[in-house]
Amino acid sequence: MSILDASSSGEHVADAAQPRRGVQRLLAGNAVLVFAFLYLPILVLIVLSFNDNRIVGVWTEPSLRWYRDLVQDDAVIGALQNSLVVAAVSTVVSTILGTAAALSLERFRYRGQGFFDGLLYLPVIIPDVTMAVMMLLFFVQAFDLVAAAFGITPRLGLTSISLSHIAFNISFVAIVVRARLEGLDRSLEEAAADLYATNWQAFRRVTLPLIAPGVAGGALLALTLSLDDVVITSFVSGPGSTTLPVYVFGLVRRGVTPLINAVSVVMLVGSMVLVVASLLIQRQRAT
Amino acid sequence: MPTVTPPATTDDDATAPAPDAVRGGRGLEHAAERARARRGLLIGLPSLTYLVLLFAVPLGIVLVYSFATRSRTGRTILGEWSLDAYARLADGLVVEIFLRSLWLAVVATAVCLVIAYPFAYYLATRSPRVRGLLLVLVMIPFWSNFLVRTYAWRVLLGSDGPFLRLLESVGIGEMRLLFTPFAIVLGLVYGFLPFMILPLYASIERIDFSLVEAARDLYASGWQAFRRVTWPLSRPGVIAGSILVFIPSFGAYVTPEILGGSKTTMVGSYVVRQFLSSRDWPFGAAISFAILAVMLVAARLYFRSGGRNL
């Protein structure tokens, strides 16, 4: 992501930026508090998930019983599988479509770009609930049409969930890739053209490697948003096609149990591993 | 936006009528430009088609539904059109929910700004290597599952949770933290704080601090230098961060559901209720559109005040 790029290009900040000692210490103290604020709930959850006691707040002794229960819980495993399938499909498709959209808008000029541009920004500002309503009504109408035309009524399931996720992810991927494209030095691509590269060759050997970190960042964002989504998925999923966050959300509304803590920790660790892995890969590519 | 500039013509008297050869050459240029434009459109066409089909069309369907009527059994009758759903938006209850959501979103945004600005300033003024590391540390919770992070506060603030037990041990019992507006704002701040930190950081990091140095040379105090140089220069980041926090906070659903309970209804929960329990789809569609309208106004304000692309 471009923000990380900015940080590694820095010159040392002028001394004028450093305030007086007392203020300096306040700022540092504030920073520590913010980090504590960000990480405390996560750490508490992790600790509590190893608690043997059924009552969440009372610490008895460390145990793995909730994780053992978790592994044997078919509903959770099923929901996890659904989440992974939907996330994989929607990430791949939206990354391809989003990158294409970014290239089309940044490297070319044609009429109708303004409309495309505006349409691309809407999914970002639209709230989850509105999008959920949109998708539900769309599928209801679409299913009616298909039933009228072909006689069979499709049902809500993993397909409708994936299609909905792709719908909002395209924009997010496009934004990240466009930010990357904007910052690129076009002389490299022009140099490739001067050296008699065809458009496809120039794209494959110059542009694509240059935007690769942006594409990877966009893909990671799409993956995260898909795995995180609750509202949209719950509106367009059918019986048997629940995803993990929707399932956990249902559990939470019925009350806090230690099993949820264990599931949460698994989801947390999973997403953190993903992030760290992708950051490492990006650092490797950049060097 | 990068523009495609055609190569300049080399003839000296551009006013003289162009000889046929040059006119033919310009024709070739135009053909090449048109081919290039067509290629660009083709590359973007699959994405555009997808968005039109699965975004613009659904939006239109919601608009259509908002003018439909609800039968007594809760089914939607598309044939009979009315403005009933929109008239209900002026109801006292609905207005109250909208205002409450607006207020909570504004409070969450303000709290985020107050917490994030000193933090971002500190981050932006570290050495480059430390900056990178600290940024990664900020991003890791941000990328973790949103539902889980919100749920963590449900555990923390609950009656069995550590905070209340701490308060009890100090002697202040009988206080309820969960299912209050306080809990909702806390959850919103926790969830969206990184959205405020990152634009602020990006904006402050770009400031040319030699300007601050110049101000100090002109006998400005530290506070004056901040107020008149640093703060105005960081405004794009402030605005971007505020919008990025306000928009999801206003339409939030998961956070108020988990932390707010049924007493504090926000607009997101209200919409969902129309589809799950009340089965009043036209009304739900109308509210969804109203929420979108608020978002568009906010986004417009952002772009008006000179905000760059997100």
Q: Do A108 and B36 touch (CB under 8 A)?
A: yes
Q: What is the pLDDT of residue B250?
A: 92
Across the interface, of A10, A107, A272, the residue whose CB is closest to B140 is: A272
* B5 phi/psi in degrees, rounded to 5: -100, 125
Model confidence band, residue B87 (pLDDT cutoffs 50, 70, 90): confident
Contacts of B300 (CB under 8 A, 6+ apart): none
User: Which B-chain residues 235-264 have CB contacts (< 8 A) with chain A?
Assistant: 247-248, 250-254, 257-258
A101 touches chain B (CB under 8 A): yes
List pLDDT tens digits, range B162-213: 777 777 777 666 667 778 888 899 999 999 998 899 889 888 888 888 888 8
Q: What is the ipTM of this complex?
A: 0.81
Q: Do A57 and B213 touch (CB under 8 A)?
A: no
Q: Which residue has the higher pLDDT, B26 or A35?
A: A35
Q: Do A129 and B123 touch (CB under 8 A)?
A: no
Structure tokens at B281: 């789809």
This prediction's pTM? 0.82
Q: Which residue has the higher pLDDT, A285 or A52?
A: A52
Q: Do B291 and A279 touch (CB under 8 A)?
A: no
In terms of Cβ atoms closer than 10 Å to its own Cβ (0-12, 13-18, 19+), residue B87 is: exposed
Q: Is B108 helix (H, G, I), strand (E, B) or coil?
A: helix
User: Which A-chain residues 62-91 have CB contacts (< 8 A) with chain B?
Assistant: none
Q: Do B132 and A112 touch (CB under 8 A)?
A: no
Q: What is the pLDDT of residue A259?
A: 81
Question: Nearest residue on chain A to B137, judged by CA atoms?
Answer: A35
Closest CA to B76 of B64, B88, B60: B64
Question: Nearest residue on chain A to B289, judged by CA atoms?
Answer: A130
Closest CA to B303 of B247, B248, B231: B247
CA A71 centroid distance within chain: 25
Q: Is A104 a residue whose pLDDT tops 50?
A: yes
List pLDDT tens digits, range B257-310: 888 877 788 999 899 888 888 888 888 899 998 888 888 888 887 777 665 544
**How many angstroms separate the CA of residue B114 from the nearest CA in chain A?**
11
Span B70-80, average pLDDT: 74
User: Which B-chain residues 210-239 have CB contacts (< 8 A) with chain A?
Assistant: 210, 212-213, 216, 222, 225-226
Span A211-226, average pLDDT: 87
Question: Nearest residue on chain A to B54, judged by CA atoms?
Answer: A167
CA B263 to CA B285: how far, in whole Å? 23
Q: Do A137 and B140 touch (CB under 8 A)?
A: no
List pLDDT tens digits, range B33-57: 888 888 888 888 999 999 999 999 9
SS (H, E, C) B234-303: CHHHHHHHHHHHHHHHHCCCHHHHHHHCCCCCCHHHHHHHHHHCCCCHHHHHHHHHHHHHHHHHHHHHHH
Q: Is A272 a residue whose pLDDT tops 70?
A: yes
